[in-house]
A and B are shown apart, each in its own frame.
Chain A
């Protein structure tokens, strides 16, 4: 999709199909095509936002990239210092060494932390496991990281259960960033946080990105947060990307009907705001039995016959603006209307 040497990550035609098993014999009766042909690229130091319907495959995409899952098909290529590593082909031993370069911050701060480890152990473990630091140096680095995410040194001996949701999410962020990764898959890293801490964490992620030259894949549902942090935004629907563009372009001039629907439902922190929400009619699509043609056609307001039979490819409509819709160049879609900022 993009050219040249400034790419950090390149994903080509990624697929992750989970078998559906039935009966006592666990016979495979079909597949949940959670990710079904995703191609994307992320530049060094860039943030790519990934948004889309719940269950459309965002987390699965992230998990394939950091190889929590072995993808069913496709390539995941990591470029650094003139070398290219095929992440999808690393064996267990190679992966263990390579993991340092890429980390994931999880959606669920409750189940992702081992309840029997203290904060010091949780944040220190990756350093120990990779032989990066130990003893006093380890404690110092952990203390520094913990302070950077807004926790206190007094918290170090405590266990996760005694922290609130937001505090636990900060522990997760500290744990992911402590070993200095280059690529971080952030899976809804701020959705458990109050708006003030959310601001602090977003600012922190942006500062760390600059200081440490980090590259983010940022999955979130809050479109204003995604806009804040992302250079580009990718919109996903049932296992496929339907639109990719620069953030402001995507918000103002969405070209895919699903993006339009999504943007129409963004809630505003203003009780006087009158929503003009476009409803999504019909059943949510099922990744085990995806619709023919365009995956969005059963729910699309602009559907024509061709949509039921032909799969629209993700194509570049304008420089940098990729859309998968047969009518992308004809539709007049509604985006976010900007208002002059009232404050500062």
Chain B
């Protein structure tokens, strides 16, 4: 992740490129649209999202509650409930190198969007090549089985050469790695017997148990105290350095984002509105929505305590999205006649810095 990898980069002579290991895209999402067809109308939860995640790198995704972060993540693993949800457009390319194929076919990349959501191929990928820490703990753990059995099941499913007894040892070892006390006993506990943070750590243990190439972590540390949170983030960094694991890290905690992300995508109402390198994003946020988010953060080291600021208004009803820029009805920089006329396109304002706002570019969404 950032700091370590960055200092490593500085050793490279000018003009030299980064090692291919980190430059190479592992997952490439192009114009993804996932919509929900409800009685009241269509919810365009994800509406034209494009990004890629590189090997060994961490992409942070932030954005207002309901902007489509989890639906994006669920789309990758084809876990969006259908009906009412459908991927209506776009591709989700999982790139592989030689010898990394898990399925029977031998192509270089698989379009996950084109797979049968209930088929064998995506089931082999889920929890194996790509694993996920869910925002809802109960999505990972059914209430009826011990967490140990559930972790073992995942190990046995994806690692053909592992025996049952060994899987149990692996499950215990993974629980220990995420800082669960007395893992040899907790392995036999039911989910309701664990505290919120222990459940979350058990989920992380399960997600990491098969050494995934891509980890999608959806709010993985909300229930953890800052010390354990720091240890989990360190564990993820270590695995990233060791195996080149890529991470999509979804969180509302901008302190965590500042620490783990290499690159950050900011979403609003189903679209990316700004994307940049983490340092650029914090130092030079351009989109009024991103600025609003950054201004809302309480700072523990501020000498004075003042009432928290928030972005005016609420996210529009998904059935009544304003015409033009989706943020226009809340934006302090709103320009009548411009912002309400067309949807701004995502334009590059500096190298690698993308912004969707007419203050910075005339580009319109086609």
Contact B252 A194 (CB under 8 A): yes
- Does any Cβ of A come within 8 Å of B27's Cβ? no
Contact A283 B226 (CB under 8 A): no
Contact A55 B181 (CB under 8 A): yes
How many angstroms from the CA of A129 to the CA of B194 in the assembled complex?
30
Which segment of B105-113, B151-159, B291-299 sits at the interface?
B291-299
Complex interface: chain B residues within 8 A of A20 (CB): 185
Q: Report if A196-B2 is in contact (Cβ < 8 Å); known contacts: A108-B196, A202-B308, A277-B230.
A: no
What sequence of 0s and 1s flags, for each residue 192-232 of chain A, a beta carbon within 8 Å of any chain B beta carbon?
A: 11111111101100100000000000000111110110000
Q: Report if A224-B223 is in contact (Cβ < 8 Å); known contacts: A164-B70, A195-B254, A267-B255.
A: no
Contact A221 B303 (CB under 8 A): no
Complex interface: chain B residues within 8 A of A275 (CB): 230, 259
Q: Report if A266-B314 is in contact (Cβ < 8 Å); known contacts: A162-B38, A194-B65.
A: no
Nearest residue (CB) in A for B64 is: A194
- Does any Cβ of B come within 8 Å of A54's Cβ? yes
Smallest beta-carbon distance A266→chain B, Å: 5
Q: Report if A191-B254 is in contact (Cβ < 8 Å); known contacts: A268-B300, A337-B301.
A: no
Contact A192 B219 (CB under 8 A): yes
- Does any Cβ of A come within 8 Å of B198's Cβ? yes
Smallest beta-carbon distance B195→chain A, Å: 4
Nearest residue (CB) in B for A58 is: B195
Q: Report if A193-B309 is in contact (Cβ < 8 Å); known contacts: A54-B197, A108-B137, A267-B258.
A: no
Contact A338 B301 (CB under 8 A): yes
Contact B227 A265 (CB under 8 A): yes
Nearest residue (CB) in A for B311 is: A196
Complex interface: chain A residues within 8 A of B185 (CB): 20, 288
How many angstroms from the CA of A60 to the CA of B310 in the assembled complex?
32
How many angstroms from the CA of A55 to the CA of B226 in the assembled complex?
13
Contact A195 B282 (CB under 8 A): no
How many angstroms from the CA of A202 to the CA of B301 in the assembled complex?
18
Complex interface: chain A residues within 8 A of B43 (CB): 162
Complex interface: chain B residues within 8 A of A284 (CB): 179-181, 228
How many angstroms from the CA of A195 to the CA of B282 in the assembled complex?
15
- Does any Cβ of B come within 8 Å of A184's Cβ? no
How many angstroms from the CA of A113 to the CA of B70 in the assembled complex?
19
Task: Knowing that A198-B308, A269-B297, A339-B301 touch, tell me 6 more A-B residue pairs with CB under 8 angstroms.
Answer: A53-B225, A164-B65, A196-B293, A199-B309, A200-B310, A267-B253
For the complex of A and B, list the 10 residue pairs with the smallest distance between their C-beta atoms, beginning with the closest.
Answer: A166-B65, A54-B197, A267-B255, A164-B66, A199-B308, A199-B310, A224-B300, A269-B254, A224-B298, A338-B303
Point out which of A192, A194, A262 has the most chain B C-beta atoms below 10 A from its C-beta: A194
What sequence of 0s and 1s flags, for each residue 199-216 of chain B, a beta carbon within 8 Å of any chain A beta carbon?
A: 011000000000000000
Binding site for A on B (CB under 8 A): 2, 36, 38, 43, 62-67, 70, 135-138, 179-182, 185, 193-198, 200-201, 219, 222-231, 252-259, 278-279, 282-283, 292-311, 314, 317
- Does any Cβ of B come within 8 Å of A331's Cβ? no
How many angstroms from the CA of A341 to the CA of B193 in the assembled complex?
43
Q: Give which listed residue, B223, B252, B258, contacts A195 with CB less than 8 A.
A: B252
Contact B258 A193 (CB under 8 A): no
Contact A199 B296 (CB under 8 A): yes
Complex interface: chain B residues within 8 A of A164 (CB): 65-67, 70
Question: 8 A-B contacts, Cβ less than 8 Å apart?
Answer: A18-B193, A108-B136, A166-B64, A167-B65, A203-B307, A221-B224, A268-B301, A272-B279
Nearest residue (CB) in B for A258 is: B227
Contact A280 B305 (CB under 8 A): no
Complex interface: chain A residues within 8 A of B292 (CB): 196
What sequence of 0s and 1s flags, for each residue 137-166 of chain A, a beta carbon within 8 Å of any chain B beta carbon?
A: 000000000000010101000000011111
Nearest residue (CB) in B for A197 is: B65
Complex interface: chain B residues within 8 A of A198 (CB): 252, 296, 308
Q: Report if A221-B226 is in contact (Cβ < 8 Å); known contacts: A154-B317, A227-B298, A339-B302.
A: yes
Contact A227 B305 (CB under 8 A): yes
Q: Report if A228-B222 is in contact (Cβ < 8 Å); known contacts: A193-B252, A267-B256, A271-B278.
A: no
Smallest beta-carbon distance A220→chain B, Å: 10
Nearest residue (CB) in B for A283 is: B181
Q: Give which listed residue, B2, B300, B302, B317, contacts A266 with CB less than 8 A.
A: B300
- Does any Cβ of B come within 8 Å of A93's Cβ? no
How many angstroms from the CA of A194 to the CA of B293 in the assembled complex?
8
How many angstroms from the CA of A241 to the CA of B197 in the assembled complex?
19
- Does any Cβ of B come within 8 Å of A311's Cβ? no
How many angstroms from the CA of A275 to the CA of B233 in the assembled complex?
13
Complex interface: chain B residues within 8 A of A265 (CB): 226-227, 229-230
